[in-house]
Amino acid sequence: MPDNFRHSVDAQASRKIGDSTIGEDLRITGNVSSKGEIHLDGEVHGDVSCVALVLGESATLKGNVTAEDVVIRGRLIGSVRGLRVTLQSMSHVEGDIYHQSLALEQGAYFEGRSRRSDDPMGAGHAASANGSAAKESEPEPASHRKDKPSHKFTRSLPESQSA
C-alpha cells in the first residue's frame, strides 16, 4: 500500500463514526447539514449546520456556520453561531461571531463583531421566514450610556523631593 493511502486510512479510522469530511478537491454550492462533526478541507458556498465543525487550513467557506464547537484554521466569510469558537493562528474570518466562549490565537485574522451570548444558537437568533437575520438590539456607544461614570481617571505621579 502507498504511504499516503495508509496515512489516509489511519486518519479516517481515528475519526468517530458520524464524522463527515469534505476533501480539498471538493466544491459544494448549497447548504450542508450534519448530525455529527464535519471536517471541511474543500470549498463550500452555503450555510453549514452541524454539531462540530473543523475548517481546515486549505478550506474556504462562504456562508454562515451554526455548530456547538467550531475550530477555524482556514478562510470563512460569514457569521458563526457556536457555543465554543476557536480561531487558530492561520485562520481568516470576515463576519460576526456569536458565542459563549471565544478563543483567538495570535496571528488569527478577524474582521467583524464578537458578541457573547448565553444561548448563541437559540431561537431568538434564528433567521426570519424571509431569510433575513433577526435584528438584534445594538448596544449603545459608551459615550451615550447613562451608566457611564461622570469622572475621568487621572493618575498622578509622586513629586520628587529635591534636597
- pLDDT digits over 92-107, tens only? 999 999 999 999 999 9
Residue 159 in domain: no
Mean pLDDT of the chain: 78
Number of neighbours of residue 89 by Cβ within 10 angstroms: 11
Residue 130 in domain: no
Residue 132 in domain: no
- pLDDT digits over 18-40, tens only? 789 999 999 999 999 999 999 99
Residue 37 in domain: yes
Query: What is the pLDDT, as a whole number, of residue 54?
Result: 97
- Give the closest residue to 64 by CA, choosing from 56, 73, 91, 53: 53
Residue 38 in domain: yes
Task: Identify the band that residue 121 occupies on the pLDDT scale cut at 50, 70 and 90.
Answer: confident
Overall pTM > 0.85: no
Number of domains composing the chain: 1
Is-contact 117 101, C-beta < 8 A?
no
Residue 23 in domain: yes
